[in-house]
Amino acid sequence: GFIAPVILAVILGLILWPDSLQEKIKKRCETYLEKHGLPSQNDCEKIWDSFRQAFVEKDPCEVPPDAYDSLIHTVSQVSQEPTCNRMMFWSKTKEKVHEFAKKCSYVTLEDFLLGFLLDNLTWCGKSGSQETFTTGCPSWSDCVNNPVRSFWIQASAAFAASACGDAFVMLDGAIDMPYNPDSTFASVEVKHFNSSIMKSLTVLLVTKEGDTKTCESDESLKHLQTDLGSNLKYQCKVVPQSQLQTCIVD
């Protein structure tokens, strides 16, 4: 009398579970639009279609960043405006930054529809097939033009280009090169900052308790200053990890 309903519930759960990539992304899309008061079934269908056409039927090592231009355009028509003075970039601080951003009302790429839809997902297609895959896809460094890497490059470029007012970046002060020229932050985002709408970039350099690292003692941050050029103001604050519990930088 007890086992049967449990088995039934499990089977039903497996059937209703959004296991396909399409279900997962459409579910995220609907959740997001509802939460932001922009619900529309149609938009999520449209978004799925433009996402799909970026990589389906293609060799998974031959999907360049601009394959996502149509998706980015579609999403920008549905989604909200950039939030000036609250935009936050990051490099090597993924978990910390999202917790901090949520608590202190900053917005990262992953808080916007585009990033929210695809964060922590893997996908690819195959030439000669209409299918989408979530396993057996090339990983980040297997080949340059893979669907996931190309997506994040183009999404990051668009996010950075929209940064306005005072922007922030959370970097890891416990590693050798908090500002690493090979990172997406350095190689894509910084290059797309638009000094006609953005005023400053403040580095939050997160350090371990008791670490004596300063903004000035870090060599890599000198390169960031250089890369920002003279039209964007550079600031930097050391934030001991424990201070991330407060919204002290305000």
Mark residues 145-164: x for contact with ligand NAD by CB under 6 A, - for none.
Answer: -------x---x--x-----
89 binds ligand NAD (CB under 6 A): yes
Active site includes 44? no
CB nearer to ligand NAD: pick between 48 and 179: 179
CB nearer to ligand NAD: pick between 141 and 230: 141
Active site includes 215? no
111 binds ligand NAD (CB under 6 A): no
Residue span binding ligand NAD (CB under 6 A) among the ranges 31-39, 86-94, 122-130, 203-211: 86-94
Min CB(40)–ligand NAD separation in Å: 25
Marked catalytic residue, from 29, 44, 124, 164: 164
Residues 122-141 that bind ligand NAD (CB under 6 A): 140-141
Min CB(155)–ligand NAD separation in Å: 7
Min CB(139)–ligand NAD separation in Å: 6
> How far from chain centre, in Å, is Cα 30?
18
Q: What is the 3 state secondary structure string of the chain?
A: CCHHHHHHHHHHHHHHCCCCHHHHHHHHHHHHHHHCCCCCHHHHHHHHHHHHCCCCCCCCCECCHHHHHHHHHHHHHHCCCCCCCCEEEEECCHHHHHHHHHHHCCECHHHCHHHHHHCCCCCECCCCCCCCECCCCCCCCCCCECHHHHHHHHHHHHHHHCCCEEEEEEEECCCCCCCCCCCHHHHHHHHHCCCCCEEEEEEEEEECCCCCCCCCCCHHHHHHHHHHCCCCEEEEEEEEHHHHHCCCCC
106 binds ligand NAD (CB under 6 A): no
17 binds ligand NAD (CB under 6 A): no
Cα–Cα distance measured from residue 232 to residue 31, given in angstroms and rounded to the nearest whole number:
36
CB nearer to ligand NAD: pick between 65 and 125: 65
State the residues that interact with ligand NAD by CB under 6 A.
89-92, 94, 109-110, 115, 119, 140-141, 152, 156, 159, 183-185, 189
Residues that are catalytic: 84, 164
